[in-house]
Amino acid sequence: MAQYILRKLLGAVVVIAGVSLLVFILTRVIGNPVDVMLPLNATAADRVRLAHQLGIDKPILTQLGEFITGVFHGNFGESWYEQQPALSVALERLPFTLELSGIAMALALIFAIPLGVLSALRPRSLLDKVTSTLSMFGICVPNFWLGLVLILIFANTLHWLPTSGVGDWRYLVLPAITMAVLPLGRITQIVRTAMLEQLREPYVVTARSKGLLEFWVVVRHALKNAGISIVTMSGWELGRIIAGYAIAIEAVFGLPGIGSLVVDSIGQQDFPLIQALTFVIATCITLINLLIDMTYPFFNPRLKFK
Amino acid sequence: MKRFKSVSLMLLTFVMATGLILTGCGGGGTTAPKAQPKKDTITIAIPNEPSTMDVQFADDGNMRAVTDNVVQGLLLMDGKTLKPIPGLATEYSQVNSTTWDFKLRKGVTFQNGNPFTADDVVYSIKRIIDPNFKSNIAGDFATIKDVQKVGDYEVNIITNGPDPILPTRLTLLEILNKKAMEADSKGIATMVVGTGPYKVVSWSKGQNIVLQAYDGYWGNKPAIKNVKYRFIEEDATRAAALKNGEVDFATTMLPEYVDSLPQVKTAEGLEFSLVRMNAISGVMKDPKIRQAASYAINWDAIAKSLYQGYATIGQGQVFKSTYTGYDPNLKAYPFDLNKAKQLLAEAGYKGQPIEFVGEQGRWLKDGEQIQAIAQMLKDAGFNVNVKMLAFSKWLEVLFDRSKAPDMIFTFHSNDIFDADRTYSTYVLSTGPGSSYPNTLDQEIIQARTEMDTQKRTQLYNDIAQKLYDDPAWIDGVNIRDIDGMAKDVVYQPREDGRLAVFEMSFK
């Protein structure tokens, strides 16, 4: 067990290092940050001086060496715009995004699992068709657009909820729903497919012939066996929420999470901040994957930690 | 099948119950602001959170929307006439062509209680011109060589050469408290101390910034006591928050929203669009082809259809009438397709490809404007290839004179309201964004150091005339700043684009 986790962690470190390296190289080729930082009227001498002060006039290998040395000391450098340690700027914004993503994911699962199971129990029924249509809608609708429509309906027309910003729980309702819709659609379909497969298995027939209540047949036997695909998909979706959906949704709802920071830092080409953010996000996603891996034996005891 | 039904029913009930809990809870809350007897707080939505409060370091409009109410310079800008007026200096005079004498205002205190003296001025100016302090706006003060304390309430500022724009530059040079800065040099990133009408109370990162009227302010007390800034990036959400009464004021609204907002006020903005043309090499080197391009664009249609009329056409120059160097005798090139075609024929243009570089998303409807311009040029007979680049790549192209494309679209903001800013950037052959020969260099340099305002204006009018006939760019449109506000807010947006909360009041 310990050995298994250790090996997984080692793999995680390699992944995070690889992502960081890739981003390091990418940031160096997307353009000159000095041009973005300085006003248009700045002179060539100003630009050279700033490039020197930021240390980006050095050969890329030297920069990379400094970056790696820094990372081993937990130092990603100072954000060029905020003039504060980049890692703490990034970490400061993380809890909010994690909270919102967690709520959205819980919301998605609460609806997706029952709906998927029901559709699988009665394939081609009206409920199945409605669920399929709705989940396709969830997958296809652009979430920034959905967010704006929800604001229009629930804030501007019905006045039930605030449009944007942070405060009590009411401020989280619209962003969480907007964020949940896409994973909800995807997970519902996965649950349905996985359940359809399981319900055809002989062990289901056995369970039923034992005279077991249908509810327990479905929940304790079929659903548990379908668990691996559902959990894997959910983990993947959670990663996508943090590294993807949060970016648009936080901008739409004016929220102080890591997503809006990603947009700003890329626009400003704030290299240290981009690197710190990538590191933080990559770490989150690797950890999620690790946790997901560790739940597998629960669903299928034949899968031992090896 | 009976069993199936019971399972379905249980699960369905669960789904519906969850749904009910969620929607039911939503219905319970109310978001309407509580009625207050006398409103003393204004909530303002700006697009983005400032990156810092170090006003001497950053070039950041979101920061200025906050700090322009907190810090002040020796001179202030008149929001209507765009002329410098007394601020922390009560009067100034020139000792000689490179030395200026400033008499400082007495009885002024910083928001931390420290008195304002010449030491603060010397410290602030030295800090910003120090090459080791990597200020992004140092270029605005490159002409300042030194500053000397003459007395407790008098300083001399020495420039590298004669600089007629020094007073305007000083409206951008904010004075900081030497004692506070020396005690804590990093604190300014999150809380700046100035002499202005409001002091910073708090900054909750990601959420809001709160200001409060400073009781010891030397000037007129502002009408509104508390200010809260919120950061809402998405334009539509900012408008929605205003409509919902969650904020009282929302900056940078789109023309499309105007009809649905409670109240809207506009001012001429600072951004002029322009299409720079390559006058040093390639097909467009021939002035006739550049003139033809100027005749080919129907700016009126662009202003009306893209900006719903919230844009003004540049009158043969990218200046507002309040700028130094504005030539009232110039008129915009009329839209004349026949003339454009005729000029192209005279120049012997045979449909050689013309590269037109643009970017999208930096300015309001820049991409749409580029598409419209390209289509109009094609209609006139230009063989235009549009090449859209990411902003930073586009900047590299704009700044590289040796590889200047035939045409490149940009927006130009002249934040010192002086023709020199524009000409030294886009016309002077050594300017960072120039693809123009050195024919006007001498006049531009002469005008830059001419201390006589009348002679200076004359020089600029002469340059503007020459540029009209031998254009460096096609003059575009000036987009109006649109501010949305609640019905009870009284405010007129300023011509200098600053957000002056101290000029706001409630009805």
Q: Are residues B354 and B419 in the same domain?
A: yes
Tell me the pLDDT band of A56, cut-offs 50, 70 and 90.
Answer: confident
Torsion of CA B470, B472, B476, B479, to 10 degrees: -130
Rounded distance between C-alpha atoms, residue B196 and residue B177, angstroms: 12
Tell me the pLDDT band of B384, cut-offs 50, 70 and 90.
Answer: very high
Nearest-Cα distance to chain B for A73, in Å, is 22
pLDDT at A226: 87
User: CB under 8 Å to B366, separation ≥6 — which residues?
Assistant: B273, B358, B359, B360, B409, B411
Q: Are residues B264 and B320 in the same domain?
A: no
Q: Are residues B332 and B439 in the same domain?
A: yes
**A15 part of contact set with chain B, CB < 8 Å:** no
Q: Are residues B339 and B398 in the same domain?
A: yes
Nearest-Cα distance to chain B for A148, in Å, is 7
pLDDT at A267: 82
Q: Is the pLDDT of residue A30 over 70?
A: yes
| pLDDT above 90 coverage of chain A, percent | 40
Q: First vs last Cα of chain B: how many Å apart?
A: 69
Q: Is the pLDDT of residue A227 over 60?
A: yes
Contact A179/A244 with Cβ under 8 angstroms?
no
Q: Is residue B14 part of a domain?
A: no
> Chain A window 266-295: which residues touch B at a Cβ cutoff of 8 Å?
267-269
pTM of the model: 0.87
pLDDT at B4: 42
Tell me the pLDDT band of A210, cut-offs 50, 70 and 90.
Answer: confident
Residue B494: how many CB atoms within 10 A of its CB? 19
Nearest-Cα distance to chain A for B32, in Å, is 8
| pLDDT (mean) for B44-64 | 91
pLDDT at A305: 58
Tell me the pLDDT band of B96, cut-offs 50, 70 and 90.
Answer: very high
Closest CA to B304 of B312, B296, B292, B316: B312
Contacts B7 to A, Cβ<8 Å: 121, 214-215, 218
> b/e per residue, A70-84, with b = 16+ CB within 10 A?
bbeeebbbbbbbbbb
Q: Is residue B35 part of a domain?
A: no
Tell me the pLDDT band of B148, cut-offs 50, 70 and 90.
Answer: very high
Tell me the pLDDT band of B326, cut-offs 50, 70 and 90.
Answer: very high
- Determine whether B91 is exposed, middle or buried from the number of CB atoms within 10 Å of its CB (0-12, 13-18, 19+): exposed
* C-beta atoms of B139 and A214 within 8 A: no
Structure tokens at B101: 């004498």
Contacts B240 to A, Cβ<8 Å: 148, 151-152, 155-156, 163-164
3-class secondary structure, A254? coil
Structure tokens at B160: 């590298």
Nearest-Cα distance to chain A for B127, in Å, is 16
Contact B407/B275 with Cβ under 8 angstroms?
yes
Contacts A260 to B, Cβ<8 Å: 206, 233
CATH number at residue B402: 3.10.105.10
- Which range, of B155-159, B209-213, B293-297, B427-431, averages the lowest pLDDT? B427-431
Q: Is residue B128 part of a domain?
A: yes
Rounded distance between C-alpha atoms, residue B277 and residue B382, angstroms: 13
Contacts A164 to B, Cβ<8 Å: 230, 232, 237, 240-241, 246
3-class secondary structure, A133? helix
Q: Supply the angle between the helices A86-121 and A224-240 in degrees, to the nearest 10.
A: 140
Count residue pairs from A and B with Cβ separation < 8 A. 191
* C-beta atoms of B51 and A268 within 8 A: yes
* C-beta atoms of B240 and A83 within 8 A: no
Contacts B4 to A, Cβ<8 Å: 121-122, 214
Q: Is residue B126 part of a domain?
A: yes
Q: Is residue B145 part of a domain?
A: yes
Q: Are residues B335 and B385 in the same domain?
A: yes
CATH number at residue B147: 3.90.76.10
Name the phi and psi angles at A27, rounded to 5.
-60, -35
Nearest Cβ partner for A118 among B8, B131, B240: B8
Contact B494/B267 with Cβ under 8 angstroms?
yes
Rounded distance between C-alpha atoms, residue B382 and residue B190, angstroms: 52
B167 lies in which domain range? 71-177
Q: Are residues B400 and B259 in the same domain?
A: no
Tell me the pLDDT band of A115, cut-offs 50, 70 and 90.
Answer: very high
pLDDT in tens, B441-482: 999 999 999 999 899 999 999 999 999 999 999 999 999 999
Q: Is the pLDDT of residue B29 over 50?
A: no
pLDDT in tens, A240-252: 999 889 989 999 9
CATH number at residue B497: 3.40.190.10
Contacts A118 to B, Cβ<8 Å: 8, 11-12
> Chain A window 127-166: which residues touch B at a Cβ cutoff of 8 Å?
127, 144, 148, 151-152, 154-156, 159-166
Nearest-Cα distance to chain B for A38, in Å, is 5
pLDDT at A306: 52
pLDDT at B15: 45
Q: Are residues B432 and B314 in the same domain?
A: yes
Rounded distance between C-alpha atoms, residue B335 and residue B76, angstroms: 40
Name the phi and psi angles at B71, rounded to 5.
-115, 160
Q: Is residue B16 part of a domain?
A: no
Contact B242/B263 with Cβ under 8 angstroms?
no
pLDDT in tens, A188-205: 999 999 999 888 888 888
Rounded distance between C-alpha atoms, residue A115 and residue A113, angstroms: 6
Rounded distance between C-alpha atoms, residue B80 and residue A227, angstroms: 68
Q: Residue A247 CA to chain centroid, in angstroms?
A: 10
Q: Is residue B55 part of a domain?
A: no
Q: Where are the alpha helices (DSSP H) in chain A?
A: 2-29, 33-37, 44-54, 60-72, 86-121, 126-140, 143-150, 170-199, 202-209, 214-216, 224-240, 246-252, 258-268, 271-299
Contacts A117 to B, Cβ<8 Å: 11
Suggest the residue from B11, B56, B210, B413 to mutate for an interface test with chain A (most A CBs closer than 10 A). Answer: B11
The three-state (H, E, C) secondary structure of B33-76, written as one string: CCCCCCCCEEEEEECCCCCCCCCCCCCCHHHHHHHCCCCCECEE
Q: Are residues B389 and B422 in the same domain?
A: yes
Suggest the residue from B6, B13, B22, B233 to mutate for an interface test with chain A (most A CBs closer than 10 A). Answer: B233
Nearest CA in chain B to A208: B3
Closest CA to B248 of B14, B44, B481, B34: B44
Nearest CA in chain B to A168: B29
| pLDDT above 70 coverage of chain A, percent | 98
Suggest the residue from A145, A164, A178 to mutate for an interface test with chain B (most B CBs closer than 10 A). Answer: A164
pLDDT at A304: 67
The three-state (H, E, C) secondary structure of B197-216, written as one string: CEEEEEEECCCEEEEEECCC
What separation in angstroms does the CA of B185 have from each of B259, B314, B402? 47, 44, 42
Q: Are residues B435 and B320 in the same domain?
A: yes
Q: First vs last Cα of chain A: how many Å apart?
A: 7
Domains of chain A, start order: 96-259 (1.10.3720.10)
Closest CA to A230 of A113, A58, A137, A143: A113
What separation in angstroms does the CA of A304 have from each of A230, A300, B42? 19, 9, 61
Nearest Cβ partner for A30 among B51, B390, B398: B390
Name the phi and psi angles at B301, rounded to 5.
-65, -40
> Chain A window 42-61: which residues touch B at a Cβ cutoff of 8 Å?
42-44, 46, 49-50, 53-54
| pLDDT (mean) for B64-84 | 95
Nearest Cβ partner for A161 among B29, B51, B432: B29
Rounded distance between C-alpha atoms, residue B142 and residue B38, angstroms: 47
Contact B404/B280 with Cβ under 8 angstroms?
yes
pLDDT in tens, A263-282: 888 888 889 999 999 999 99
What separation in angstroms does the CA of B402 have from each of A53, B277, B394, B455, B460? 26, 14, 15, 34, 27
Q: Are residues B473 and B329 in the same domain?
A: yes
Rounded distance between C-alpha atoms, residue B505 and residue B197, angstroms: 14
Torsion of CA B73, B74, B77, B82, to 10 degrees: -130
Q: Is the pLDDT of residue B255 over 80?
A: yes
Tell me the pLDDT band of B37, cut-offs 50, 70 and 90.
Answer: low
Q: Is residue B188 part of a domain?
A: no
| Matching residue, tokens 């400061």 | A92
Nearest CA in chain A to B53: A82
Q: Are residues B466 and B320 in the same domain?
A: yes
Rounded distance between C-alpha atoms, residue B270 and residue B64, angstroms: 15
| pLDDT (mean) for B167-172 | 95
**A253 part of contact set with chain B, CB < 8 Å:** yes
- Determine whether B333 is exposed, middle or buried from the number of CB atoms within 10 Å of its CB (0-12, 13-18, 19+): buried
pLDDT in tens, A4-24: 888 888 888 898 889 888 888
User: CB under 8 Å to B148, separation ≥6 — which residues?
Assistant: B122, B155, B156, B158
Tally the domains of chain B: 3
* C-beta atoms of B233 and A38 within 8 A: no
Mean pLDDT for all residues in chain A: 88
Suggest the residue from A30, A41, A212 to mutate for an interface test with chain B (most B CBs closer than 10 A). Answer: A41
- Which range, of A32-46, B136-150, B159-173, averages the lowest pLDDT? A32-46
> b/e per residue, B126-157, with b = 16+ CB within 10 A?
ebbbeeeebbbbbbbbbbbeebeeeeebebbb
pLDDT at A214: 83
The β-bridge relationship of strands B249-250 and B41-46 is parallel
Rounded distance between C-alpha atoms, residue A2 and residue A305, angstroms: 9
| pLDDT (mean) for A122-130 | 90
Nearest CA in chain A to B129: A46
Rounded distance between C-alpha atoms, residue B417 and residue B83, angstroms: 9
Nearest CA in chain A to B205: A256
Rounded distance between C-alpha atoms, residue B286 and residue B271, angstroms: 28
pLDDT at A212: 83
Structure tokens at B272: 């002029």
* C-beta atoms of B134 and A268 within 8 A: no
3-class secondary structure, B493? coil
| pLDDT (mean) for B158-170 | 94
Rounded distance between C-alpha atoms, residue A146 and residue B392, angstroms: 31
pLDDT at B147: 96
* C-beta atoms of B26 and A42 within 8 A: no
Q: Are residues B313 and B435 in the same domain?
A: yes
Structure tokens at B3: 């069993």
Query: What DSSP line would sit under B23-38, residue for residue?
Result: HHHHHH---SPPP-SS
**A252 part of contact set with chain B, CB < 8 Å:** yes
| pLDDT (mean) for B371-380 | 95
- Determine whether B17 is exposed, middle or buried from the number of CB atoms within 10 Å of its CB (0-12, 13-18, 19+): exposed
| pLDDT above 90 coverage of chain B, percent | 81
* C-beta atoms of A83 and B189 within 8 A: yes
Mean pLDDT for all residues in chain B: 90
3-class secondary structure, B495? coil
